[in-house]
Amino acid sequence: MRQKRPKKGKFSAPEIMWTTPLYEFLRQCNTTRLKKTILDCGAGSHAGIPPPLFLFYQYGYKTYGIEIEKKALAHANRFCKKNHIPLNIIRGDMRRIPFKNKLFSFVYSFNAIVFMTKADIAVVMSEIQRVLKPHGLCFVNFLSVDDPDRGPFRRTSFACRLLKSKRFSLHKDNEADKYFRNFEILRKEKRLIEKLWYGRKIKQVYIDYIAKKK
Ligand SMILES: C[S@@+](CC[C@H](N)C(=O)[O-])C[C@H]1O[C@@H](n2cnc3c(N)ncnc32)[C@H](O)[C@@H]1O
């Protein structure tokens, strides 16, 4: 089915500027000749903030997303409804991606698999590989062991309730390479962010991968 696009200038939602690493992923996706189909694993959003898939939609991609948490899903879909933008985000768990093999040219998970246990992350990585077409690209980011500020999850948090996870999974510099055995790693970037978070100075350290399925 063809997606209905809003007429030019019909919506005034901002670009997804905080997801800067996804701009490099978008650039790399745009350099391939693959069909523009993309899946976001962990595609929910917060109140008033556009889901990152909107970036790809703006560049003509047919978008799909899965999100495990009801509230994050509702926020994302409220954005879609208000702006008449069909991003196609449904409830789903990336540990069992509800799509068939080799369906997508591009798959990403941004700031999302970090909430899961390492055992689950391994499952998710094989699911991402399963739904990607050969030569398709993926973007996945991990939290580094150099990320100092991560305490255990609250018992009421979605990660405890839905993922049975007690804390963020942290990876050493090369530890996550093992998930990409059947990929060619195109880019790997370690990012240190220092920022004020509700008046408190915090550090975050991510390791981002862009990889091509063999
Ligand atoms: C920090 S938010 C990031 C959301 C979005 N990617 C963004 O950057 O704005 C992480 C999201 O991943 C979702 N998530 C975590 N584990 C998931 C899983 N197993 N399946 C689907 N979604 C999941 C969470 O519910 C949450 O909405």
Mean pLDDT of 126-154: 95
CA of 35 to the centre of ligand 1 (A): 25
Q: Is residue 149 part of a domain?
A: yes
Q: Is residue 8 part of a domain?
A: no
The CB of 120 under 6 Å from ligand 1? The reply is no
How confident is the model at residue 48, as a pLDDT?
80
CA of 79 to the centre of ligand 1 (A): 16
The helix/strand/coil state of 67 is: strand
Domain count within the chain: 1
How confident is the model at residue 206, as a pLDDT?
97
Mean pLDDT of 171-175: 98
- Cβ neighbour number for residue 189 with a 10 Å cutoff: 12
Report which protein residue has its CA nearest ligand 1's atom 12. Answer: 42
Q: What is the DSSP string of 45-60?
A: --TT---THHHHHHTT
Smallest Cα–Cα separation from 211: which of 128, 90, 103? Answer: 128
Mean pLDDT of 148-174: 93
The whole-chain average pLDDT of the chain stands at 92
Helix (H) or strand (E) holding 171: strand 170-171
Residue 107 near residue 29, CB atoms below 8 Å: no
Q: Is residue 2 part of a domain?
A: no
Q: Is residue 60 part of a domain?
A: yes
Asked if pLDDT for residue 64 goes beyond 70, the answer is yes
Span 22-62, pLDDT tens digits: 999 999 999 999 999 999 999 999 888 899 999 999 999 99
Instruction: Name the residue range of residue 85's domain.
Output: 21-213
d(C-alpha 34, C-alpha 29), whole Å: 8
Tell me the best of 18, 69, 99 to mutate to test the pocket of ligand 1, counting ligand atoms within 8 Å of each CB and taking the most. 69
How confident is the model at residue 17, as a pLDDT?
72
Torsion on CA atoms 28, 30, 32, 38, rounded to nearest 10: 90
The CB of 72 under 6 Å from ligand 1? The reply is yes
How confident is the model at residue 108, as a pLDDT?
98
Look-up: residue for tokens 């399963």? 130
d(C-alpha 86, C-alpha 181), whole Å: 34
Percent of the chain with pLDDT over 70: 93
Report which protein residue has its CA nearest ligand 1's atom 26. Answer: 42
Burial of 126 (0-12, 13-18, 19+ CB in 10 A): exposed
Q: Is residue 11 part of a domain?
A: no
Q: Is residue 81 part of a domain?
A: yes
More confident call, 107 vs 10: 107
Burial of 129 (0-12, 13-18, 19+ CB in 10 A): buried
How confident is the model at residue 96, as a pLDDT?
98
Helix (H) or strand (E) holding 209: strand 200-213
How confident is the model at residue 19, as a pLDDT?
84
How confident is the model at residue 74, as a pLDDT?
97
d(C-alpha 38, C-alpha 44), whole Å: 15
The CB of 112 under 6 Å from ligand 1? The reply is yes
Q: Is residue 165 part of a domain?
A: yes
Asked if pLDDT for residue 9 goes beyond 50, the answer is no
Q: Is residue 169 part of a domain?
A: yes
Look up the CATH number of the domain holding residue 192. 3.40.50.150
The CB of 121 under 6 Å from ligand 1? The reply is no
